[in-house]
Structure 1
Amino acid sequence: MLKSFDETLAQRVLELGRQTLAIEADAIVALHARLGDDSSFVDAAQLIYAGTGRVVVSGMGKSGHIGRKIAATLSSTGTPAFFMHPGEAAHGDLGMVTANDILIAISNSGESSELLDILPAVKRLGARVIAMTGKPASRLARLADVHLNIAVAKEACTLNLAPTTSTTVTLAMGDALAVALLDVRGFREQDFALSHPGGALGRRLLTHVRDVMRTGDAIPSVGLDVPLVKALLEISQKGMGMTAVVDAAGRPLGVFTDGDLRRVIERMHDFSNVLIRDVMHANPRSVRPEQLAVDAVAVMEEFRINQMLVIDEAGQLVGALHIHDLTRAKVI
């Protein structure tokens, strides 16, 4: 049977949660204030920006976990980076480091033996070193080309032992560097999408209408002089809830949808002799195949329609698009 908190313990848990958040928030505020006290942050960003190699992030224990996230954030925002475990580095992984790379070495104490052991080899290679420590007088800080001070007043842990506040501040410093570099590099949404093709933003910014539109025989289409009843067969067979109405050259002049059919039924009881040209909706909304799929979504939402024709620069009907096509492609 699961144990449950009594009221006193529940209140204590809530108090500790709030206390942890307050301590970590205060530490980030202190980091914010400290950032402008010297030029180290700008120096670090400039060193990375001017570099022709990659950023190699390294750290032991919790610093290593934070380092992996910092490396991932840098990589996804325009700064090629990877994480290197300092223990593995001493046994061959240093071969991944080149003279053009920049090492970000993370250690709250600044005395991590695993990092200090590989530092001479890194410097012999010619790589530059940025240290993130909470001890500006530590050996790691003194040996680095640039030192970023991530000192905190205390850990959020009630024992003041477990890395909590210090890892939060380290992560925030890494994010600050990544965002600053993102901006100075002119990194934009399209660049982000290229490195996240499997994500929602990637799909929105990389998927074009031509990638999801229906083509060839799948396009519902009838001529101007086709009887309405025959046009209804085309609508039913193609399953898009509409048909394009085209001239002899294949240029779309109108569209007829399920909604138009309901309006026709309301107006007339017998439409066996009605031609599609007499009931079609002229000048239909359309989109170009080279446009982003999200552009088509915007038009559909604005005009509350579920289908659109796709027309090329010559005015030819080259595709048809249904809102379900966009849903299946996870554009919406």
Structure 2
Amino acid sequence: MLTKICSSFLYPGLALLAMTLLCLSSSPVHAGKVREYWIAAEKTDWNYAPTGTNQIDPQSDLGVWGKTLTYTKYRYIGYTDSSFSQPIPQPEWMGILGPTIRAVVGDTIKVHFLNKADIPLSIHPHGVMYDKDNEGADGGKGSSIPSGGRYTYSWTVDRDAGPGPDDPSSVVWLYHSHVMAEEEINLGLVGTLIITAAGKAHSARNPAPRDVDQEFITLYMIFNEENDEESGLKHAINGQIFGNLSGFETRRGQRVRWHLVALGNEVDNHTVHWHGQTVLDHGRRTDVIELMPASMISVDMTPRSPGNWLFHCHVSDHMMAGMATRWLVK
């Protein structure tokens, strides 16, 4: 084949055509799919420490942060179809996070949004491509959906929404409500999108990356529940404190991808630390990842030693306030 191509340089047009055909035949081409999601915003109660105890240090209590644990929140809830009658269960480690929206570069995402809450809300995505009416913010048709209202957002997963040349095979983006963004994020209206590179998904049906065995998502954020009073500053991982978030379980030798995100204010500067293991961050070996508000970072690990390891923010006063949980390696 290459001999024929080389000889065809006598005919430049034929050479160009042959090289084009060779590239097309040897490169996987992703036929984009339309991936539909049904997501509602709902008012609910949220408990930051359902056990009522300090699961990191059972000899200690929850300090001032245990004075009040349950507050009125708003959450994104995923459903199976347009009837919005059957919620989709989530892993316990996801905590307060909304449903994970997955797609592959080349896809189109359609999110059918129903506002079941009592205030105007929206869904604003990071990373993907959209027009003004699908921005979920700043004046387009989808920027403010009234209580009881519905809206279908359409987002394009172009090349610039997917992994870059030095990224892993999937990357994470945030989505959140953006009518009064700073208030609605604090209310709990936060979720993530995970975009897989073309040719890297399990299958056309399953857009998760095939080169990892597990993916975990963590939101590091201080929820402000009591107008800056210390007792109401909930230093949470996925909305829970003092080790009450559970379910991070894996095995030695598994290929694990951690998607780390943060939101909040200037105090939300976090140093995410795993005990017992290191991760690869764009080729850099480390066991601490730095996060600032609206940071989105995806890192890989292969657990090497069994144990029930600490997973926490290494900022001293954040540790004291309970921004910690554990991850289990079997």
Greater relative contact order: 1 or 2 (C-alpha under 8 angstroms, separation 6 or more)? 2
More strand by share: 2
More helix by share: 1
> Would you call these one fold, judging by a TM-score over 0.5?
no
| TM bucket, shorter chain | under 0.3
The normalised TM-score by structure 1 is 0.20
For the pair shown, the structure with the greater C-alpha radius of gyration is 1
